[in-house]
């Protein structure tokens, strides 16, 4: 087997070869300070949603796989996925702005785009409020600040309402389940942790390292969560059945097992407030 150190060396070598073979884009004109971008490419489904919400959907000329909301995004040209970009397709689009996902797109992709001379702005949500900030930033870049500011104000108002609704409630310990076998969850660095706290939840793995680590069943059982929330598609109850063997858990004993549509909570775009409302409703139900 190849050691991790060897894998790293191979990856760096491949990156060097990749960059060495890159040609500069012809007729490429990056966005100029004070000049609105007119041809935008999004490298994440949630960024695609941000662009549309900021009133700049008509400026999108390319998106990545799974950019399926709003419906108008479905018909836009694809330039690969968040993890693998089709550079030839991108060259043909000649965007003057590429919006990247700092922690979601591989760093080598962002670096290569910079080497090719594209104007890349990397976005990274740091909390619910930052989604509103990014809406405004996209509006500034695309010259649609009026629409973007309105959308950001509405989002902040919804966040404030949810926060005031849950502010006085007793915190409930929560296990957030991304997947099982192995179990994956989120830490205090993840935007979902911000949502849990907003709704009066206490993430049992908030202090774990990383962003979305794997955790053991034993660790979950030891924390004895009051509530378990899974990000699964509506109607999928298989995950609940797997927990029935662990009736010693308060969440299982009291039937405090809830699901949230991953598109509403795992994508840090404007719709995250709808996912947050579902989580707040679930915790309110658990308290009652």
Q: What is the pLDDT of residues 158-181, one digit of tens each?
A: 999 998 887 777 899 999 999 988
Q: How confident is the model at residue 92 (pLDDT cuts 50, 70, 90)?
A: very high
Least reliable range by pLDDT among 22-36, 96-110, 250-264, 265-279: 22-36
pLDDT at 153 over 90: yes
Listed residue (119, 148, 121) closest to 133, CA to CA: 148
pLDDT at 222 over 70: yes
| Residue 26 pLDDT | 33
Q: How confident is the model at residue 89 (pLDDT cuts 50, 70, 90)?
A: very high
Work out how many domains the chain is built from and give that number: 2
179, part of any domain? yes
| Residue 34 pLDDT | 58
User: 176 and 85: one domain?
Assistant: no
- State which of 103, 128, 153 marks the end of a domain: 153
pLDDT at 136 over 70: yes
The string of pLDDT tens digits covering residues 32-73 is 455 899 999 999 999 999 999 999 999 999 999 999 999 999
- State which of 153, 181, 202 marks the end of a domain: 153
pLDDT at 13 over 70: no
Peptide bond into 161 cis (omega under 30): no
For residue 34, the cross-strand partners are none
Question: Rounded to 5 degrees, what angle do the CA atoms 166, 170, 171 make?
Answer: 85
User: 37 and 147: one domain?
Assistant: yes
Find the domain containing 29 and state its range: 25-153
Q: In what order do the strands lie in the sheet with 40-42?
A: 60-62, 40-42, 97-101, 120-123
Question: Which CATH number goes with the domain that contains 215?
Answer: 3.40.50.1980
164, part of any domain? no
The H or E element that residue 155 is part of is helix 145-166
Question: Cβ(182)–Cβ(236) under 8 Å?
Answer: no
User: 29 and 145: one domain?
Assistant: yes
Greater confidence (207 vs 10) lies with 207
| Residue 245 pLDDT | 92
């Amino acid at each position: 087997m190849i050691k991790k150190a060897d894998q790293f060396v191979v990856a760096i070598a491949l990156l060097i070869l990749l960059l060495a073979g890159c040609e500069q884009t012809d007729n490429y004109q990056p966005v100029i300070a004070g000049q609105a971008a007119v041809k935008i490419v999004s490298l994440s489904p949630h960024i695609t949603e941000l662009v549309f919400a900021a009133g700049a959907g008509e400026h999108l000329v390319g998106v990545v796989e799974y950019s399926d909301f709003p419906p108008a995004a479905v018909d836009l040209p694809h330039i690969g996925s968040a993890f693998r970009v089709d550079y030839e397709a991108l060259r043909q689009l000649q965007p003057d702005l590429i919006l990247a996902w700092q922690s979601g797109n591989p760093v080598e992709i962002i670096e290569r785009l910079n080497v090719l001379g594209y104007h890349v702005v990397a976005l990274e949500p740091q909390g619910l409020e930052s989604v509103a900030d990014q809406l405004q930033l996209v509006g500034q870049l695309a010259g649609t600040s009026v629409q973007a500011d309105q959308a950001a104000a509405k989002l902040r108002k919804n966040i404030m309402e949810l926060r005031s609704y849950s502010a006085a409630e007793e915190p409930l310990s929560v296990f957030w389940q991304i997947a099982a076998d192995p179990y994956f969850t989120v830490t205090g660095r993840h935007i979902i942790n911000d949502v849990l706290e907003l709704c009066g939840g206490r993430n049992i793995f908030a202090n774990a390292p990383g962003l979305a680590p794997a955790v053991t069943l034993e660790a979950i059982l030891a924390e004895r969560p009051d509530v378990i929330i899974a990000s699964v598609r509506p109607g999928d109850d298989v995950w609940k059945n797997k927990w029935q063997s662990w009736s010693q858990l308060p969440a299982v004993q009291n039937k405090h097992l809830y699901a949230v549509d991953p598109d509403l909570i795992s994508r840090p775009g404007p719709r995250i407030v709808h996912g947050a409302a579902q989580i707040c409703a679930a915790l309110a139900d658990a308290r009652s």
